[in-house]
């Protein structure tokens, strides 16, 4: 059985700009990250809403990591602060549903930083392995 089937699935939403460019750089530089990570690119994290992310958990995701632009560097100006507001609401709902904070995080990657992308994703996955299976 391959690792990707036994490892829990982790969904990483990246914005199209900083975070996705980090992902592309990681690929170009040959940096690896766990096979359990399934990146999903959206134009901006502000496009996401709590229902969509809860749906990932409903379908069995072990964790969801949202990666956007660094503060002040949103491609659209205000997208990442809107995403932060959305995240607050999402986190409150997720906590009610028993999702632990280490299973759901919001973070950012600077454009072109492949190593940062790979590290953040790996650290997120590592922390999740510590969460006891429910």
Partner 1 sequence: MQTESIKEAIRTHRAHYCLDCGKCTSVCPISWRDPSFSPRALVESCRLDATGTVLSDERIWECLTCGRCSLVCPSDVQFVRFVRELRSVARHAHQEGHCTHGATIQTWMRMMADPEIKQERLGWLTGDLRTAAKSDTVYFVGCLPYYDVLFRNTGAQGTEIAQGAVRIMNALGIEPMVLSDERCCGHDLLWEGDTDTFGRLAKLNTESLRATGARRVVTTCPECAYTLRTDYQLGMEVVHITELLAARWDKLAECVTAQESEQPLTVTFQDPCRLGRYMGVYDQPRQLLLNLGLQLAEMDHHGSRSICCGTSAWTQCGATAKCIQVDRLREARATGSDLLVTSCVKCQIHFKCAQNDPVLEDGLRIEVRDLVTLVAERLKESAGS
Q: Footprint of partner 1 on this chain (CB under 8 A)?
A: 49-52, 54-55, 57-58, 89, 92-93, 95-98, 134
Task: Specify the DSSP element, H or E, that contains 46.
Answer: none
How far apart are CB 89 and partner 1 at their closest, in Å?
6
Q: Give the full edge-to-edge strand order of the sheet including 10-15.
A: 37-42, 10-15, 63-68, 104-108
- CA distances to 44, 57, 129 from 103, rounded to whole Å, are 21, 10, 10
Q: Which residue's CB is nearer to partner 1, number 29 or number 101?
A: 101
Q: Which residue's CB is nearer to partner 1, number 23 or number 61?
A: 61
How far apart are CB 114 and partner 1 at their closest, in Å?
32
Q: Which residue's CB is nearer to partner 1, number 27 or number 50?
A: 50
Q: Which residue's CB is nearer to partner 1, number 60 or number 72?
A: 60
How far apart are CB 129 and partner 1 at their closest, in Å?
19
How far apart are CB 81 and partner 1 at their closest, in Å?
16
For the record, the structure tokens of 88 come out as: 């607050």
CA distance 99 to 76: 30
**Residues constituting the chain:** 134
How far apart are CB 57 and partner 1 at their closest, in Å?
7
Q: Which residue's CB is nearer to partner 1, number 41 or number 49?
A: 49
Q: From its phi and psi, is residue 60 left (phi > 0), alpha (psi between -120 and 50) or beta? A: left
């Amino acid at each position: 059985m391959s690792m990707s089937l036994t490892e829990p699935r982790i969904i990483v939403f990246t914005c199209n700009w900083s975070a996705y460019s980090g992902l592309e750089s990681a690929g170009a530089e040959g940096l690896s990250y766990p096979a359990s990570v399934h990146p999903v690119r959206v134009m901006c994290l502000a496009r996401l809403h709590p229902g969509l992310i809860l749906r990932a958990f409903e379908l069995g995701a072990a964790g969801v990591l949202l990666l956007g632009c660094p503060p002040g560097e949103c491609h659209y100006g205000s997208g990442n602060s809107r995403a932060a507001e959305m995240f607050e609401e999402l986190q409150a709902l997720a906590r009610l549903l028993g999702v632990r904070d280490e299973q759901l995080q919001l973070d950012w990657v600077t454009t072109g930083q492949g190593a940062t992308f790979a590290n953040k994703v790996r650290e997120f996955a590592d922390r999740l392995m510590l969460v006891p299976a429910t």
